[in-house]
Structure 1
Amino acid sequence: MRRGAWMVGLAMAIHALPLMAQAQTTIKVDAEGAVGRPGSAVYPSGARLSAVTAAAGVDHAAYALGAAWLQPGLAREQLRLRAGLVYELGAIRRQAMAADNALLAEGSAAFQTWLSGRPITGRRTGAALDPARLEVTPADDWPVHEGDTLFYPRRPADIRVVGAVGKACRLPHVPMQDARRYLASCPSSAAADPDLIYVVQPDGAVFEQNIALWNRSEPRPLAPGAWIYVPFNRHAIAGAADDGFNQDVANFLATQTLGEEGWQ
């Protein structure tokens, strides 16, 4: 009986070897959004971004600057980042209440609620996903991995302003307009840092822009789909949040994706 069971097990293992080898040499990668052939496809292990964009047939109307490479392995790190920011916003609120700073307490509570609802995407920032560029720039043509998704949105027509503002705003994009000038239509609150803002372009690039008269940076135009994060006053939140809090918020915003109607 034991010998017979052992022989059966050996036969099953030998039979499974080709399947195991296939699993080790192929991967499944999804393509979504403005592509001709959406959904999951099988690629050789080690396949690169260009192979996925070619097979998916990225549409000419796709907004490559806002395309997103989503990797499941990055989700846990981004979840921890969001949880830490939400915690710090709660600490900012408590400190502001103790100091009778009602505007900061209200603003941090509102932003805490908003940030808590942002999705964890697993987006890898800093990746060039324009199919034409991938064909001619091998350094940008990174290998893809099992479970990855390439998402190509359509071009939006607006930008968003969030953070220490009276109310989060969605504003029409104005070509070549300096990021600072959008604040005229979405004013900062009294809880805002008066000296700077953060610009998050739709490809995930993050820039700190000085806006005060004494330190003003060169104008920085926004691409459609960009974010402006108005940071909380670094002096007012000291002790409740670490020195990198505002930068971390901007970095988290860089992980967000554009949805089918411009915003997720």
Structure 2
Amino acid sequence: MRLWVGACAWLLALPAVTAVAQAPDTLTVTTEGAVGKPGAATYPADARLSTVGLASQVDPDAYLLAAAWLQPALQREQLRLRAGIVYELGAIRLKALGAGDMNLASTAADFQAWLSNLPVTGRRVGVSLDPARLEVTPADDRPVHDGDTLFFPSRPAGIRVVGAVEKACRLPQVPMQDARRYLAACPASAEADADAIYVVQPDGAVFEQRIAAWNRDAPRPLAPGAWIYVPFARHAIADAADDAFNRDVADFLATQVLSESGWR
């Protein structure tokens, strides 16, 4: 008995052994679009954006400004953003119907139907995917994660104008032309904000540009593949949408990606 007790005491004195989860040694990232080696590939667990870009052999004519880093972890937040916009567009429509404003009701309904069909991409905006640049700027060469996708489109030839417009437009991109000049070919509706537009560049950067004669900003040229979002006038959507509504729309457009052919 005394020996058994002593043995137990000795065992209890041993340091506790805790199971430690081992981090995976590899991860899988997919590349799509204008690359020499498309598809899913396995990389070391410490792989970075340049690692994947170089291994996938990005085509020399790929449109790097619009290259997109798609992360599943960001999809839930973007799904919530789209749902909020769609809900508010429905509220704008109902308010307009109640006030007998059929033009606003129709514009809101059309835009709601269109935006509802935009994909939730998980795109992380504001990052460079140019492998050559990333190699010399380590601070921008971020780690990739398992399940990520890098998409490299071809260069497009035009821009898109959407929002409070008579009809959404796809227009040829004109080098160095100020964003507001595209509105002459894609007229705003009566419910549009007359003082500002949102410019969404193909890398996902979003800018509010004031366009009225009394507050006009400096010209802002658009890169191929950019969006112009014509916002709804604040007074037209008051009590149906919050003050962040128009910016939220522009931010969601920034998550969209070009198609492989260069068009959205």
**What TM-score do the two structures reach when normalised by structure 1?**
0.91
Q: Distance in 2 between matches of 1:103 and 1:127?
A: 39
Q: One-letter code of the match for 1:30? A: T
Shift of 1:212: 0.4
> Which 5+ residue runs of structure 1 have no aligned equivalent?
1-19
Structure-1 separation of matches of 2:82 and 2:172: 28
What does residue 102 of structure 1 align with? 102
Q: Distance in 1 between matches of 2:130 and 2:196?
A: 31
> In 1, Cα distance between the equivalents of 2:215 and 2:241?
24
Partner AA of 2:87 in structure 1: Y
Structure 2 partner of 1:238? 238
1:47 corresponds to: 47
Give the greater-gyration-radius structure (CA): 2
Q: Distance in 2 between matches of 1:167 and 1:139?
A: 43
Shift of 1:140: 0.8
Q: 2:157 aligned with 1:157, yes or no?
A: yes
Match of 1:140 in 2: 140
| Structure-to-structure mapping, 1:103-142, within 5 angstroms | 103-142=103-142
Q: Helix, strand or coil: the match of 1:24?
A: coil
Deviation at 1:220, TM superposition (A): 0.1
Where do 1:84-99 residues align within 5 Å?
84-99=84-99
SS at structure 2 position matched to 1:236:
helix
Deviation at 1:69, TM superposition (A): 0.1
Partner in structure 2 of residue 5 of structure 1: none
Unaligned runs of 5+ in 2: 1-20
1:218 aligns with 2:218: yes
Equivalenced residues, count: 245
CA drift of 1:46 comes to: 2.0
Q: Show CA shifts across 1:51-71 (max 9, x none).
A: 000100000010000000000
Q: Residue type of the partner of 2:189?
A: S
* Letter matched to residue 117 of structure 2: G
- Give the SS at the match of 2:228: strand
Q: In the TM superposition, what is the alpha-carbon distance from 1:133 to its structure 2 partner? A: 1.1
Question: What amino acid is the match of 2:33?
Answer: G
The runs of at least 4 aligned residues of structure 1 exceeding 4 Å deviation read none
Distance in 2 of aligned mates of 1:184 and 1:151: 33
| Structure 1 partner of 2:33 | 33
Q: Whole-Å Cα distance in 2 between the matches of residues 252 and 263 of structure 1?
A: 17
User: d(CA) in 2 for partners of 1:100 and 1:262?
Assistant: 41
CA distance in 1, matches of 2:207, 2:46: 33
Secondary structure of 1:110's counterpart equals helix
Q: Counterparts of 1:129 and 1:44 in 2: how far apart (Å)? A: 18
Please report how far the alpha carbon of residue 196 of structure 1 lies from its aligned counterpart in structure 2 after TM superposition.
0.2
1:263 CA displacement: 2.5
1:113 offset after TM fit, Å? 0.3
**Amino acid of the structure 2 residue aligned with 1:192:** A
One-letter amino acid matched to 1:28: T
**Distance in 1 between residues matched to 2:218 and 2:225, nearest whole Å:** 21
Structure 2 counterparts to residues 12-31 of structure 1, below 5 A: 24-31=24-31
1:27-70 CA deviation, whole Å, 9 max, x = no partner? Answer: 00011100010011111112100000010000001000000000
Offset of 1:252 from its aligned partner?
Answer: 0.0
In structure 1, what is the Cα distance between the partners aligned to 2:99 and 2:227?
31
Deviations 1:216-243 (A, max 9, x none): 0000000000000000011110110000
Cα distance between partner residues in 2 of 1:188 and 1:131: 40
Amino acid at match of 2:215: N
Deviations 1:163-220 (A, max 9, x none): 0001110000000000000000000000100000000000000000000001000000
Letter in 2 for 1:75: Q
1:1-20 pair list within 5 angstroms: none
CA deviation profile, 1:93-134 (whole Å, cap 9, x unmatched): 011111111111110000000000101101001111112211
Counterpart for residue 62 of structure 2: 62
Q: CA RMSD for the aligned pairs?
A: 1.2
Q: Tell me, what secondary structure is at the counterpart of 1:225?
A: coil
User: Which residue in the other structure is 1:206 paired with?
Assistant: 206
The residue that corresponds to 2:5 in the other structure is none
Q: Distance in 2 between matches of 1:136 and 1:74?
A: 27
Find the aligned partners of 1:157 and 1:141 in 2 and give their Cα distance. 29
Give distance in 2, aligned partners of 1:98 and 1:46.
Answer: 57
